[in-house]
């Protein structure tokens, strides 16, 4: 008796539509880091919180989804390492291990997870994209909020009030934008094929 194992071929992510080369991958990783750094400059202070509202989380999840798990992780790792080395491209032009650095650590893992989900087709439909974005956001908060509590010497309730609650509506809007854009791009690509 033999057991048949279903072979599943990984799907392409958007970055795979470009001709494959090491130069392409390096450019995509550097570009993803730069996009995240630029998006972090859109920083709106939140009263009572050391963490501003930024475009950073949206960029990190978009980079992970568009580049895939490996390149998404590499891109966010490059972003984090250069920011730790002093490049002022964390939220609002900051650098180093700030109180919000835990969110950047969360973005590393979130970009990897949403990239892996995109490789399985999560970026092709609004419903699956919604799930991927929500999971990515949850990962960012699961790492960022406890880090904030430790670094800023906050209780869990204080960390949630300062580092989670004020951002939920904005993150829902960012997720909705990604849910509409990425599946639409795939529909356009498939139509052009």
Q: Which whole-number Å values give the CA distances from 80 to 95, 101, 152, 153, 172, in the listed order?
A: 9, 9, 20, 23, 24
Q: Are strands 53-54 and 43-44 parallel, antiparallel or unpaired?
A: antiparallel
Burial label for 140, CB within 10 Å (0-12, 13-18, 19+), is: buried
Interacting residues of 149 by C-beta distance below 8 A, sequence separation 6+: 155, 156, 158, 159, 163
> Tens digit of pLDDT for each residue in 23-78?
999 999 999 999 999 999 998 998 888 888 899 999 999 999 999 999 999 999 99
Nearest-angstrom CA–CA distance, 94 and 183: 33
Please tell me the number of Cα atoms within 13 Å of 168 on its side-chain side: 6
pLDDT digits (tens), the chain, 193 positions: 455 444 456 789 999 999 999 999 999 999 999 999 999 999 899 888 888 889 999 999 999 999 999 999 999 999 999 999 999 999 989 999 999 999 999 999 999 999 999 999 999 888 899 899 999 999 999 999 999 999 999 999 999 999 999 999 988 888 888 888 888 888 888 887 6
């Amino acid at each position: 008796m033999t057991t048949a194992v279903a072979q599943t071929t990984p799907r392409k992510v958007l970055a795979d539509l470009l001709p494959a080369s090491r130069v392409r991958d390096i450019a995509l990783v550097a570009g993803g880091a730069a996009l995240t750094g630029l998006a972090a400059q859109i920083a709106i202070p939140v009263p009572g919180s050391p963490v501003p509202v930024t475009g950073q989380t949206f960029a990190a999840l978009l980079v992970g989804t568009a580049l895939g798990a490996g390149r998404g992780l590499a891109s966010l790792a490059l972003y984090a390492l250069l920011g730790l080395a002093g490049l002022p491209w964390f939220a609002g032009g900051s650098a180093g291990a700030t109180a919000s650095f835990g969110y950047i650590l969360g973005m590393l893992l979130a970009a990897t997870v949403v990239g892996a989900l995109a490789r399985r087709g999560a970026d092709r439909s609004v419903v699956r994209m919604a799930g991927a974005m929500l999971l990515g956001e949850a990962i960012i908060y699961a790492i960022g909020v406890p880090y904030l509590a430790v670094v800023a010497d906050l209780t869990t309730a204080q960390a949630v009030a300062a580092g989670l609650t004020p951002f939920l509506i904005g993150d829902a809007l960012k997720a909705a934008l990604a849910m509409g854009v990425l599946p639409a791009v795939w529909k356009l690509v498939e139509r052009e094929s």
